[in-house]
Structure 1
C-alpha cells in the first residue's frame, strides 16, 4: 500500500492527543451519532493511522473527516491543547485532492467563490423567492411552502436583486472619531443587505465613518472548511489585492460575520488592516451604548457563535455586557449558549438530519428562556436558529445584534 500523508500534519501534533475523551463530552456531532470517528479523538487517531501508512484515506475516512461542524469545542476543552483545526482542514484537503468535493459542497464552493456568478444567481432568483412566505422568526428569510421528509420546515435566505456592495460606498458619521472599512462577506452582500445597512448605521452612531469596497468577495470560508485550499488561496489573494490598494488610512477593518472574522484573523496572515469583529467595537464603546434605549421593554437571550468565542477567542462577556447596557433590554441567560447551532457552513447541506438534531436542541434551549428574541452575530446562525424556532413553533425572534441595536433611540 502506497504511503500517503496529510500535508503539514506532523506525528508530534497527532500524538499530542492523549485520548482522554474530553472531546466526547462536548462534541455536538458525537452527541447525535455516538460513533467514535465522529469525535476529534477518533479523527486524530484516524489521521495518525493514515500518516503511518496503517490505513488508506478511503471514502469512508473522508466521510468521517467531513462529519464535523468545526465548532472547535474539542480544541477548547482539550487538556493538552491539541490544535484540532490544523489537523481537520489538511485532512479534508487531502480527501479533496483524492476524491474531489461532494456534489453539494462543490456547488456551494463554486457559487460563493465566484462573485459575479453569485450576484447573477441572486438577481435571477430574487423575484421568485419573494413569492415564498416570510419567516415569522426572521424577516430576511423565506419558508419553503412544503415540509421536507425527516427535516420539517425549511428556511432559505432571501436573495437580493442588487448586492449591498454594488459600488464603492462611503457612509459618513455626523461626528467622526474614526474611519473603518467594512469586510461585508457574501451573505451580507447578497442576502442580508438590510442587516449590512444596519451594521453601518450602528457604526455611524458610534462615530465611525464606514467605507465598503465594491470589489471585495467571499472570505473563502466555504472552500477553506471544505478542504478546497486552492480556491481558498485564490479568494484570499483577490481580497488582499482589493484591500491593499485602498488609498485611505483606515483605523481597522470590521466584520459582522463570525466566520469571516475568524478566517481573516486566523488564515489571512499580514492582512493590510487589523480586523475587529462588530461585538469588539460595541464593547469598546459600551459607555456610549449605555445611553441607547430600545423602543419598548424586551427580553433578549444570546447565542455565542462558535467562530467568535472559540475561533476568535473573544470573551463571552462582551455581548452580554453590551445587551445589559441597553435601556429597556433585559438579558436572559441560556443553557449551553455557546454550543453549536448545527449550521457548520456546508455541514448542514451534507448532513441535514444530524444538523437538524443539533439545531432543535438549540431551539429548545432558546424557547426555555421565555425571551422575546435571541440575538447573535453570525448570519448563518441567525438563519439556522430561525429555522429551528420555526420547527418548534416558537414565537421567539432571531436577530443579528445590528438589527436589534438599530432600533434603539440614541
Structure 2
C-alpha cells in the first residue's frame, strides 16, 4: 500500500485550502475538502476506514485541480495521494466498461484510428453539429439523456494528415507531441502549430509513434495503463530527444503529465523515475517554447492588430503545475486586446473521465461560474492551451447560452494573426 501517513500527518488543518477547493465550492462539506480528504486517507491507512462505496464516492469527487497544493504552506501533494487511493479503488471495484474501452483504445493507437473513423461516420446519428465551436450537441434520444456539448471527431487525425517530417528551413527542429483530443478532435491546433513553425522556419517532426500521455488513466486510477504508456513514451522520447531542440506540446495536461506526473508516478521505480526526470528538460508547452526560445513575439508585433478581444483561462495543469501563464498572454497581446476575467485561475471543472461521466452534475456545477465570468468580459474569444478545458468550457457556455464567444487554443489565434498582412 502507498504510504499516505507522511502527507496526512503533516496537514496542520489551517484551512487555507478550503476556499480555493473546486469540489468544496460545489459541495460545501468538510468531508469533500482537502483536509477532509487527508483525514480520511489517514484513517484508511490506519485501518479505521473501510474503502467502501461511500469512501469511493468521496475520493472520486476531487477535481485534482491542485488549488490546494498551490496554496498549502507545507506544499502537501494532496492530488498525488488521491491519485494513489484511486488505484486502490480500481483494484477493489474495477472500472466501468466504458472506461476499460476508452483506456484500451488510448493504449492502442492503430485501433483508436479505426474507431475514430467509424465514430466520424456515425456521430451525427446521436449528435447534431455546432460549427462555430467544432463540436456536437447530444440529440434528445433515449440512449443519450444528457444535454451537453462534446467535441466532434474529424475525418482524419492530425498525425495521419501530415508527413513525419516537415522541413521549414532548418533554423531549428522540434518534435510535436499533439495529445489525443487535438489529434482526433481539435485538429486545427496541430495545423496552426505547423503554420507557426513554417513562418519561423523551424522544422517539425511529428514523432508519430507517440501514445497517449496516460493522464486520463492516471486520474482514474488505472495505473496498469499508465505504467505501459509512460514507459513507452519515455523510451520513445529518449531515442530522439538529443537530436531535437525540444518536444513541444500544445496541451497543458499532456505536458504536465510528462514533465511532472511521470516522475511522481514512478516514485517506487527508481530507474524509471530517473529516466522521467532526464527527459523533463526537453519538454515544453508550445506557447512556453515559442515565447521563450523563438522570436515569435517580435514577428507578431509587426503584424496588424486584430479587431477581436481575447480572455484567457489558466488551465490548472499549466499555471499551477508548470508556472506557465504569462507566455501565452504575451504572445496573444501582440495582436489582440486582452480582457482578463474576474478569476482566470478558477478551475473550469473538467475533472477527468469519472467527473465527466459518473459525476457530471459536479462538473456542470463547477463550470457554470466560469462561463459567467467569460460572458462578463464580452470578449470575442476565450482561450486556453488545454483541450480538456476547451471541452468543459465550451459545454458550460452552451448550457449558459453564451453564444457570442468562441473557444480557440492560443496556438490557433496566433496562427490566425500571422496570416494578416
Candidates 362, 369, 377, aligned match of 2:370: 362
Other-structure match for 2:327:
318
1:141-199, Cα deviation, whole Å (9 max, x unpaired): 1222339999964112211232222275112224x321000011211222222221112
Other-structure match for 2:300:
289
Q: TM-score, normalised by structure 2?
A: 0.88
- For 2:375 and 2:97, the matched residues in 1 are separated by 35
| Aligned residue pair count | 398
Change (3 A) 1:149 1:298: farther
Q: Give the conservation status (yes or no) of the 8 Å contact 2:259–2:280.
A: no
Q: Give the conservation status (yes or no) of the 8 Å contact 2:138–2:144.
A: no
Other-structure match for 1:135:
130
Change (3 A) 1:137 1:64: farther
Candidates 390, 395, 399, aligned match of 2:398: 390
1:338 and 2:341 are equivalent in the alignment:
no
Change (3 A) 1:126 1:387: same
Q: Give the conservation status (yes or no) of the 8 Å contact 2:189–2:409.
A: yes
Change (3 A) 1:207 1:38: farther
- For 1:151 and 1:290, the matched residues in 2 are separated by 48
Candidates 131, 139, 148, aligned match of 1:154: 148
What's the offset of the Cα at 1:233? 0.8
Q: Give the conservation status (yes or no) of the 8 Å contact 1:138–1:383.
A: no
1:297-324, Cα deviation, whole Å (9 max, x unpaired): 101100001100112222x322222222
What's the offset of the Cα at 1:37? 2.3
Candidates 300, 305, 318, aligned match of 2:310: 300
3-state SS of the aligned residue for 2:279?
A: coil
Q: TM-score, normalised by structure 1?
A: 0.90
Candidates 361, 370, 375, aligned match of 2:383: 375
In structure 1, the gaps of 5 or more residues are 1-5
- Larger fraction in helix: 2
1:254 and 2:248 are equivalent in the alignment:
yes
- The 4+ residue runs of structure 1 with deviation greater than 6 A are 147-152
Alignment of 1:101-180 (within 5 A): 101-129=95-123, 132-135=127-130, 137-139=132-134, 141-146=135-140, 153-166=147-160, 169-174=164-169, 176-180=170-174
In structure 2, the gaps of 5 or more residues are 263-275
Other-structure match for 1:35:
29
1:404 and 2:413 are equivalent in the alignment:
yes
Other-structure match for 1:3:
none
Q: Give the conservation status (yes or no) of the 8 Å contact 1:27–1:74.
A: yes
What's the offset of the Cα at 1:396? 0.7
- For 1:152 and 1:163, the matched residues in 2 are separated by 27
**RMSD of equivalent CA atoms:** 2.3
